């Protein structure tokens, strides 16, 4: 089973994914960890969104290969990859369909106020799920960038609200 974890910045995707990992004994892929480990040290101040998206695309090529190996070994893959856009999520649904893999969508539909409080707290405490600081500018950008999943996307999915 491939689990797509969807939610805007600060919704608790990584925390939720870690809980799901324990329940399913699956393998978690968190794009924040990949970005922090592989790319952020090389980022220049002039590098923008396109710089990140290109690197995410390359990382996802490797992730999809690993997901295939996991699925062939009957191990769940938990994808905490941002998945902010419909088209990005469709890429993974198409991949699952092409290979005959089962997929489940999990949407963390958390209020903006709660998410901002979580982000500010995470920035300050730098706890278990902290990978990098999310600025107010980054948070505000993601508010306009994020596309809420459609009813069709959520068919047989899980929605968590708070």
pLDDT in tens, 71-103: 999 999 999 998 999 999 999 999 999 999 999
With beta carbons less than 8 A apart as the criterion, state whether 10 and 115 touch: yes
Report the side by side order of strands in the sheet with 27-30. Answer: 27-30, 77-80, 2-6, 103-109, 158-161
Supply 143's token pair: 């508010």
With beta carbons less than 8 A apart as the criterion, state whether 2 and 74 touch: no
The distance of Cα 21 from the centroid of its chain, to the nearest Å, equals 14
Q: pTM for the whole thing? A: 0.86
Structural domain for 68, as ranges: 2-161
Answer whether residue 131 shows pLDDT above 80.
no
Answer whether residue 149 shows pLDDT above 90.
yes
Find, among 113, 112, 114, the residue nearest to 143 by Cα.
112
Query: Per the structure, how many domains does the chain have?
Result: 1
pLDDT-derived band at 18 (thresholds 50, 70, 90) equals: very high
Cα separation, 31 vs 55, whole angstroms: 10
Cα separation, 62 vs 144, whole angstroms: 28
pLDDT in tens, 30-71: 988 887 788 878 889 888 878 878 988 999 999 999 999 999
pLDDT-derived band at 162 (thresholds 50, 70, 90) equals: confident
* CATH code of residue 70: 3.40.50.300
pLDDT-derived band at 119 (thresholds 50, 70, 90) equals: confident
């Amino acid at each position: 089973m491939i689990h797509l974890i969807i939610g805007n910045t600060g919704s608790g995707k990584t925390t939720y994914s870690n809980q799901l990992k324990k329940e399913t004994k699956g393998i978690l892929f968190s794009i924040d960890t990949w970005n922090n480990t592989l790319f952020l040290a090389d980022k220049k101040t002039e590098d923008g969104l396109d710089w990140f998206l290109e690197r995410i695309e390359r990382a996802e090529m490797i992730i999809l290969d690993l997901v295939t190996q996991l699925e062939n070994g009957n191990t769940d893959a938990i994808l905490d990859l941002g998945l902010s856009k419909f088209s990005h999520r469709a890429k993974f649904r198409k991949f699952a369909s092409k290979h005959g893999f089962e997929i489940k969508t999990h949407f963390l539909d958390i209020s903006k106020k709660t998410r901002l409080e979580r982000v500010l707290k995470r920035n300050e405490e730098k706890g278990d799920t902290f990978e990098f600081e999310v600025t107010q500018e980054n948070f505000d950008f993601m508010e306009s960038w994020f596309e809420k999943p459609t009813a069709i996307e959520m068919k047989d999915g899980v929605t968590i609200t708070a």
